[in-house]
Structure 1
Amino acid sequence: MRRAQTAQVGPYAYNPHSDSQYLAEENEELTSQLKDKVKELKSLSIDIGHEVRAQNSMLSDMDDDFHKSGNFLERSMKRLGIIGRGSQNYHLIILFAFCFIVFLFLWLALKFR
Structure 2
Amino acid sequence: MRRNNNYPYQPLNQNPGPSSRIAHDSLEEENEKAAEELKQKIGALKSLTIDIGNEVRYQDKLLRGMDDDMDRTHGFLGNTMQRVIRLGKNGGSRHMCYMFLFVLFVFLILYVVLKIK
Q: Aligned with 1:15: secondary structure? A: helix
Compute the displacement of 1:90 (Å): 6.6
Greater than 3 Å deviation, 4+ residue runs: none
Residue 91 (structure 1) aligned with residue 91 (structure 2): no
Distance 1:54 1:72 in 2: 27
Structure possessing the higher radius of gyration over alpha carbons: 1
Higher relative CO (Cα under 8 Å, sequence separation at least 6) belongs to 2
2:77 alignment partner in structure 1: 73
1:26 alignment partner in structure 2: 30
Matching residue's letter, 1:89: G
Compute the displacement of 1:81 (Å): 1.0
Distance 1:89 1:41 in 2: 69
Once the two structures are superposed, the pairs formed by residues 12-23 of structure 1 within 5 Å of their partners are: 15-23=19-27
Residue ranges of structure 1 left out of the alignment (5+ in a row) = 1-13, 96-113
Distance verdict in 2 for CA 1:32–1:74, change over 3 Å? same
Residue ranges of structure 2 left out of the alignment (5+ in a row) = 1-17, 99-117
Distance 1:46 1:35 in 2: 16
With normalisation by structure 1, the TM-score equals: 0.65
With normalisation by structure 2, the TM-score equals: 0.63
